[in-house]
Structure 1
Amino acid sequence: MTDPYERLRAEAEAGRVEEVVVAVPDLQGRLMGSRLSVPYFLEEAARGGFGACVYLLATDVEMDTGPGYAIDAWDSGFGDFVLRPDPATLRTVLPWDEGTALVLADAVWPAGPGGGHGPGHGPEHGPEPVAVAPRHVLRTQLDRLAARGLTAYAGTELEFLLFTASYREAWERRYTGLRPAARYNTDYSLQGLEEVEPVARRIRRAMTRAGLRMETARGECHPGQYEIVFRYDEAMATCDNHVLFKDGAKRIAAAEGASLTFMPKFDEGEGNSCHVHLSLRGTDGTPVLADPSAGDGMSELMRHFIAGQLACLPDLALLMAPNVNSYKRLQPGAFAPTGIAWGRDNRTCPIRVVGSGPSLRIEHRVPGGDANPYLAVAAAVAAGLYGIDNRLPLPPEHTANALADPAVPRLPATLTEALHRWEGSGIAAELFGKETVAHYARAARAELSAFERAVTDWERVRGFERL
């Protein structure tokens, strides 16, 4: 078998790669890790892994940790788990970081003496995965699919807002009074993007050089908003590409003296979405969602798969909309889903059926730009399996405006509501396990606690003089 790291060795010997970043996606989908010299990586970390503090998978956005997570960093003395590189994710070209390669890693508990942070450790046991790590949460659901002879393919459509100010300037201005890189709605427009294109073009070309396969790119509705769509792939590979894209896009914007945000709702204008396209194939590559002989073109398996999405959406919304700001996007009139319904090519529904024949798939429209892709895709796969395993019947499709129909059941309207649904859900516990449910409930509580302590600009404008 060919050594998966021979390409890295060759690039290093040619003087094109000097360092390797070993990174793990955290609870927010951000890349956390360390830079290693190529010799050290090849001689030690590539096979044996690399230590990193356990708190990396038990923090909020501010990197604060505490009790209540499945990983209690304080109780364990801020020890290490092991980042085990996944050679399938190796990239020897990062156009925004010259001379650097990157490999994503899975977090595992160290085996043997001193490796007592997780269950079942000792000389007779090998390393066990950290169950709450986002990549492992997704892998668990993909393994459940594989046990049924199925493979998931996914694509994510990320939008961002681009501003002319640098990140430093935006920080010092408390992110107020920023000038978007376009003056008006540029949805599908080929003009008005003069200040967007230099950054967007560099991002597109850099991502292509890094191995992502771009499909389309265009301006969007909010001034300065832009969307780049990459080719679908197996679900794990798509999520790995997603986190690399977000990390690289921000760094490219910074290098251009600009800034961009993926936050779901920056202001009262259109929000940033992350629509997730999802289809299933047999392990031999045969599409299984379409049935040309059926009147609606959908196989029985697909009907159960969609029904599972609808049944599980309220309980699993937390994995797709994990922050306070997520629910500012999921509001009436915001052109984002608020109800629970499905429809063919109906963008007012959270579950939109698109394509035909081999390309038949669902588009999940709930996640925003802040979604952790591993968790969002895991939630969609788990919900679909719930529908398949329980042979749930598919309700009639919604052909009208689901956003304005009072008869359509509602999604959770706030993070608090989503947390209560997730934490009290027998479905969530069945699909993800009690440990994972408790861990991500603690993450939601950390987000809510930080928000409830904050005094916002809205409160000052509303109350400084008039209350």
Structure 2
Amino acid sequence: MSLPKRNPRLLSLEHLKDLIRNDEVDTVVIAFTDMQGRLQGKRLHASYFVDVVVDQGAEGCNYLLGVDVDMNTVDGYAMTSWEKGYGDMEFVLDYDTIRWLPHLPKTVLVQCDLVLADHVAVEPAPRTILKKQLARAAELGYVALAGTELEFIVFDDTYESAWNAGYRGLTPSNQYNVDYSILGTTRVEPLLRDIRNSMHAAGMVVEGAKGECNLGQHEIGFLYDEALVTADNHSVYKTSAKEIAALHGKALTFMAKFDQREGNSCHIHLSLRGADGDVVFWKDGRRTPLYDHFVAGVLATMQEFTLFYAPNVNSYKRFADGSFAPTAVAWGLDNRTCAVRLVGHGPSARMENRLPGGDVNPYLALAAMLAGGLHGIEHELELEDEQVGNAYTSDKPKVPRTLRAARDAFTTSEVARSVFGDEVVDHYTNMADVELASFDSAVTDWELRRGFERM
């Protein structure tokens, strides 16, 4: 076996320079993925990028890793505050990530790592967190391969009109369940086709699109790759899909639970290979002990690491019995009622983590899966018996049902502090605290409907 090769549709720095000299590129986006999983950065004029940034670099304010969803500066972060003056971070361009953004004229994107003025890595940066776990795997002789499956809901409203409507009364692009429906996906095919073809041109391997259960819900699948590449692609795709939808006069959402129907999941598939590409999860027609130890570690840490799988208040609305979103910390062979499903055999043997929703930060979720799995390998954890039948009605431990419960499990986890470090654990504990404080102070539509007149 061999490991995936760099996609030939990605660009080299020298190729990009030629494109700029020939006036085929006039805009270079440099961006990193923030705590909330969003691309943040700058649009640079191409000539300035070549003449200045390639040699001298670029910076951005470190408050970008210390804000809430609304970009408000908030208290509690050790690395960034008013007291510390909100200094800069350096954008370290990863030239292996140069890609076209074909839905935007003459535009390419370069993804970045973040370092401080002394060139020390910014520990809480999601890409840094994942790279550290990948380095741990490499020290043990393994490479992680991963794929993410993002679902979204499409609406025939623009983002602006949806905002003005308070996100109520929107018109989904399908009015009935279109799971696997060819007719249903045809109705949205102009948008789906544009996203698929744009992401292909942007250096991803697109598998296909299918309808899902909620009204207007769809999924576009991509081929697995090395874990860091998959996380990079995930971030670019998620942003690009929203941008392309806007160009079509539509809006789409990846939020975990938009309404009372099915939520948006992001099932994550993960396996290890040897450094030379050898299959290590399967041998002689069966799972290897290494595979079992890895899965046992993911299960053993799942409750403590749920904050990295379900980072928002809304994330926990997905976890409902009989919803295809898990409630039990259990594993099964091709069993979709479990949090972990084992699928494939031979080179395709892999685990599927069904906990994350569409709002997940891929770097953090993959880092958590790797950290848990490597913990299982290093301690040779024994894999419990598989769950046969309905995990929803089993006596297995339950997934945390609120952000507060997940926050408490994460911040007190000895394993989390050992594998991620105190700085990372404290940083993301504070992120949860900020979200909880904001939610606790909000007056919801539910409260208004129940209490305005009748209480």
- 1:458 is matched with 446
Q: What percentage of aligned pairs have identical amino acids? A: 49
Q: Find out whether 1:379 has 2:371 as its counterpart.
A: no
| Corresponding letter in the other structure for 2:213 | C
- Aligned partner of 1:121 in structure 2 is none
Measure, in 1, the Cα distance between the counterparts of 2:105 and 2:202: 12
Name the residue aligned to 2:180: 188
Amino acid at match of 2:109: L
Secondary structure at the counterpart of residue 342 of structure 2 = strand
Contact preservation (8 Å) 1:158, 1:274? yes
1:398 aligns with 2:387: yes
Deviation at residue 194 of structure 1 after TM alignment: 4.4
Partner of residue 308, structure 1: 297
Instruction: Give the 3-state SS of the residue equivalent to 1:24 in structure 2.
Output: strand
Q: Secondary structure at the match of 2:90?
A: strand
Give the structure 1 partner of residue 109 of structure 2.
102
Tell me, in whole angstroms, the C-alpha distance in 2 between the residues paired with 1:402 and 1:387: 22
Distance 1:26 1:404 in 2: 37
Contact 2:74 2:434 in 1 (8 A): no
What's the CA shift for 1:11?
1.0
Instruction: From 288, 291, 310, give the equivalent of 1:299.
Output: 288
Scaled by the length of structure 1, the TM-score of the pair is 0.94
AA at the equivalent of 2:355: V
* Contact kept in structure 2, 1:331 and 1:413, CA below 8 Å: no
Given candidates 354, 371, 375, the residue that maps to 2:343 is: 354
Cα shift at 1:351: 0.6
CA distance in 2, matches of 1:157, 1:53: 32
Gaps of 5+ in 2: 1-10
Moved more, 391-400 or 42-51: 42-51
Q: Does 1:421 align with 2:428?
A: no
C-alpha distance after superposition, 1:373-398 (max 9, x if no partner): 00000000000001001110000001
SS in 2 for 1:325: helix
- Displacement, 1:335? 1.9
1:233 aligns with one of 225, 229, 239: 225
Task: Pick the aligned partner of 2:419 from 431, 454, 465.
Answer: 431
CA distance in 1, matches of 2:322, 2:444: 23
Structure 1: segments with no counterpart, 5+ residues: 112-126
Is the counterpart of residue 72 in structure 1 residue 80 in structure 2?
A: yes
Taking the aligned partners of 2:449 and 2:204, their CA distance within structure 1 comes to 44
Q: Hey, what does 2:8 align to over in structure 1?
A: none
- How far has the Cα of 1:76 moved from its partner? 2.0
Distance in 1 of aligned mates of 2:312 and 2:448? 22
Aligned length: 445
CA distance in 1, matches of 2:396, 2:89: 45
Aligned to 2:163: 171
Deviations 1:65-121 (A, max 9, x none): 222113223122121110110001111x2112111111001110112xxxxxxxxxx
Q: Partner of 2:184: helix, strand, or coil?
A: coil
CA contact (8 A) 2:133 2:371 kept: yes
Query: Match for 1:367: what amino acid?
Result: P
Q: Is the 8 A contact 1:156 1:230 kept in 2?
A: yes
User: 1:45 & 1:330 partners in 2: Cα distance?
Assistant: 45
Deviation at 1:202, TM superposition (A): 1.0
Equivalent residue runs for 1:108-257 within 5 Å? 108-111=115-118, 127-257=119-249
Q: CA offsets per residue over residues 110-135 of structure 1, 9 Å max, x none?
A: 12xxxxxxxxxxxxxxx111011000
CA contact (8 A) 1:46 1:84 kept: no
Measured after TM superposition, the shift of residue 13 of structure 1 is 1.9
SS in 1 for 2:287: coil
**Cα distance in structure 1, aligned partners of 2:49 and 2:201:** 23
**Structure 2 residue matching 1:72: 3-state secondary structure:** coil
The 8 Å contact of residues 336 and 366 in structure 1, kept in 2 or not, is answered as yes
> What do the CA deviations read for 1:405-439 (whole angstroms, capped 9, x no partner)?
2x111010100000000011111101100110000
- Per the alignment, residue 124 of structure 1 pairs with none
Contact 2:31 2:110 in 1 (8 A): yes
Partner of 1:29: 37
Aligned residue for 2:108, secondary structure, equals strand
Counterpart of 1:464, as a letter, is F
Q: For the residues of structure 1 that align with 2:332 and 2:65, how far apart are their CA atoms?
A: 37
CA distance in 1, matches of 2:252, 2:300: 35
Question: Is the 8 Å Cα contact of residues 183 and 192 (structure 1) preserved in structure 2?
Answer: no
Counterparts of 2:437 and 2:75, CA distance in 1:
14
State the secondary structure of the residue aligned to 1:161: strand
RMSD: 1.1
State which of 303, 310, 318 in structure 1 corresponds to 2:307: 318
